[in-house]
């Protein structure tokens, strides 16, 4: 409902975080959900609407993002409601025909208005919880959660089960954390791969692992792919549309890539929706450049982001390395190298992937110290 609530927020002249508190318990959230332009965001059935209306009339909360306790982590004290709209998530398990609550999940940095639980995904014994209005300025995995200068930058939290016990495994932030990005408004998980949407992200990059630094396309949106090896998480990819777009004339926001309901992952494949994309293209891989069909929407399919190794270095016996990686046939990849993980990155080879999907590069001019390698598109 963020796309609608943004409009209400601008008309009421309040920030989104303040708006959530203003609307808590009144009918606006229910009405906005009824009026959503995107069918996937509306009530699926009349019973769903009736249920929320009944909760409203009973002065009950409609969703866990508005839960108020100041507890942190797993199974904390639920009785202190000093952290208004901090949010929570609840894990239930089934035994036969009976359901029981197994865990009460809170953020490790619970704070008022963070919206923890706005979106939840589960795969096996792993749960991912989004908090799109969380404010820390941390970047990457398990960073500093205490500095709240990244207003509404957002976060996601990974919890895992061992037997009957749940614990937090990771605190995820974008690699380019920015105020208003709403990272965590949508999350998805498949096995050891997590995808997090950030529809407010504003870079003008396109494709995979592009330049994150130029924030000239507000509301274009992005998504981030994280993979797990053992108990450790790393960011595998930064995803942008192939035709990244900011606001067209008459619009307040851009394409909103990665908004709620618009992130999915299955195995090695990621699908992202951009409900406000404006091109007049039709079908598959049509013309993306003519933006005359306002808010017609688009979806983007990415592959090759599973947890398996995608780039491998093997010594050649003469002081160099043979670098092998797997890509998507017919796509172009640039192999890049840097002396540090944050760059700067230099392109050392450009390859069009053959039908086999396998690319090999012989690296003979080595850097004097440590070297890091990555692939980017285009």
Over 70: is that where the pLDDT of 18 sits?
no
Q: Place 101 in a pLDDT band, splitting at 50, 70 and 90.
A: confident
The domain total for the chain is 3
Query: Are 98 and 17 found together in one domain?
Result: no
Query: Are 9 and 80 found together in one domain?
Result: no
pLDDT at 201: 95
Higher pLDDT, 301 or 377: 301
Handedness of CA 101, 110, 226, 244 (dihedral sign): positive
Over 70: is that where the pLDDT of 119 sits?
yes
pLDDT at 253: 79
Which of 31, 46, 64 terminates a domain? The answer is 64
Q: Place 45 in a pLDDT band, splitting at 50, 70 and 90.
A: low
pLDDT at 164: 87
Over 70: is that where the pLDDT of 128 sits?
yes
Query: Are 119 and 208 found together in one domain?
Result: yes
pLDDT at 23: 44
Over 60: is that where the pLDDT of 20 sits?
no
Paired tokens of 271: 């699908």
Phi, psi at 34, each rounded to 5°: -65, -35
Query: Are 156 and 250 found together in one domain?
Result: yes
Which of 64, 96, 115 terminates a domain? The answer is 64
Query: Are 169 and 299 found together in one domain?
Result: yes
Query: Are 31 and 87 found together in one domain?
Result: no
pLDDT at 3: 45
User: Tell me, what CATH number does 322's domain have?
Assistant: 2.60.40
Answer whether 119's CB lies under 8 Å from 125's CB: no
Query: Are 30 and 88 found together in one domain?
Result: no
Residues 255-261 have a mean pLDDT of: 88
Residues 32-60 have a mean pLDDT of: 60
Query: Are 228 and 328 found together in one domain?
Result: no
Instruction: Report the predicted TM-score, pTM, of the whole model to 2 decimal places.
Output: 0.71
Task: Report the share of the chain in percent with pLDDT over 90.
Answer: 43
Q: 294 to each of 40, 250, 276, how far by Cα in Å?
A: 18, 9, 7
Query: Are 183 and 246 found together in one domain?
Result: yes
Highest mean pLDDT among 19-33, 67-81, 248-262, 341-355: 67-81
Of residues 147, 145, 156, the one with CA closest to residue 181: 156
* Least reliable range by pLDDT among 47-51, 83-87, 132-136: 47-51
Higher pLDDT, 41 or 291: 291
DSSP 40: G
pLDDT at 252: 76
Phi, psi at 277, each rounded to 5°: -65, 145
- Mention every residue, 6+ apart, whose C-beta is less than 8 A from residue 22: 12, 14
- Report the chain's mean pLDDT, rounded to a whole number: 83
Query: Are 96 and 190 found together in one domain?
Result: yes
Over 90: is that where the pLDDT of 21 sits?
no
Over 70: is that where the pLDDT of 186 sits?
yes
Of residues 49, 88, 47, the one with CA closest to residue 71: 88
Query: Are 89 and 215 found together in one domain?
Result: yes
Q: Place 11 in a pLDDT band, splitting at 50, 70 and 90.
A: very low
Please measure the distance between the N-terminal and C-terminal CA atoms of the chain and give it in whole angstroms.
Answer: 33
- What pLDDT, in 10s, does the model give residues 135-167? 999 999 999 999 999 999 999 999 999 988 999
pLDDT at 31: 66
Over 50: is that where the pLDDT of 46 sits?
yes
Answer whether 263's CB lies under 8 Å from 195's CB: yes
- What pLDDT, in 10s, does the model give residues 295-348? 889 999 998 765 544 678 889 889 889 998 877 677 788 899 988 877 788 999
Which of 283, 303, 323 terminates a domain? The answer is 303
Residue 54's domain comprises 1-64
pLDDT at 313: 85
Over 50: is that where the pLDDT of 104 sits?
yes
Query: Are 231 and 350 found together in one domain?
Result: no
- What pLDDT, in 10s, does the model give residues 197-244? 999 999 999 998 899 989 999 999 999 999 998 898 988 889 999 999
- What pLDDT, in 10s, does the model give residues 80-96? 999 988 999 988 887 88
């Amino acid at each position: 409902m963020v796309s609608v609530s943004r409009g209400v927020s601008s008309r009421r002249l309040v920030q989104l975080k303040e708006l959530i508190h203003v609307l808590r318990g009144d009918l606006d959230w229910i009405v906005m959900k009824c009026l959503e332009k995107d069918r996937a965001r509306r009530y699926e059935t009349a019973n769903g609407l009736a249920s929320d209306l009944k909760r409203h009339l009973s002065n009950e909360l409609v969703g866990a993002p508005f839960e108020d306790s100041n507890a942190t982590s797993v199974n904390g004290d639920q009785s202190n409601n000093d952290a208004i709209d901090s949010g929570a998530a609840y894990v239930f398990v089934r035994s036969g025909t009976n359901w029981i609550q197994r865990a009460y999940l809170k953020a490790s940095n619970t704070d008022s208005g963070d919206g923890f639980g706005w979106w939840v995904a589960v795969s096996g014994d792993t749960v991912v919880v989004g908090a799109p209005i969380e404010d820390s300025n941390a970047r990457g995995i398990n960073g500093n959660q205490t500095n709240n200068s990244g207003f509404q930058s957002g976060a996601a939290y990974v919890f895992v089960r061992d037997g009957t016990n749940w614990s937090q495994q990771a605190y995820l932030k974008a690699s380019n954390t920015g105020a208003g990005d709403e990272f965590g408004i949508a999350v998805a998980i498949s096995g050891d791969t997590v995808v997090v949407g950030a529809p407010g992200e504003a870079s003008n990059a396109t494709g995979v692992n592009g330049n994150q630094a130029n924030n000239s396309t507000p509301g274009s949106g992005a998504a981030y792919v994280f993979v797990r090896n053992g108990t450790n998480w790393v960011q595998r990819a930064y995803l942008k549309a192939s035709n990244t777009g900011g606001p067209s004339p008459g619009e307040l926001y851009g394409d909103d890539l990665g908004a709620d309901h618009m992130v999915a992952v299955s195995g090695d494949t990621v699908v992202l929706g951009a409900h406000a994309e404006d091109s007049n293209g039709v079908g598959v891989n049509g013309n993306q450049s003519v933006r005359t069909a306002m808010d017609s929407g688009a979806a983007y399919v990415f592959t090759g982001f599973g947890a398996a190794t995608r780039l491998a270095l093997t010594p050649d016996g003469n002081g160099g390395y043979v670098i092998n990686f797997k890509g998507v046939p017919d796509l172009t990849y640039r192999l890049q190298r840097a002396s540090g993980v944050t760059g700067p990155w230099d392109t050392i080879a450009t390859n069009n992937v053959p039908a086999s999907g396998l690319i090999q590069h012989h690296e003979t001019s080595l850097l004097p110290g440590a070297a890091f390698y990555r692939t980017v598109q285009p």
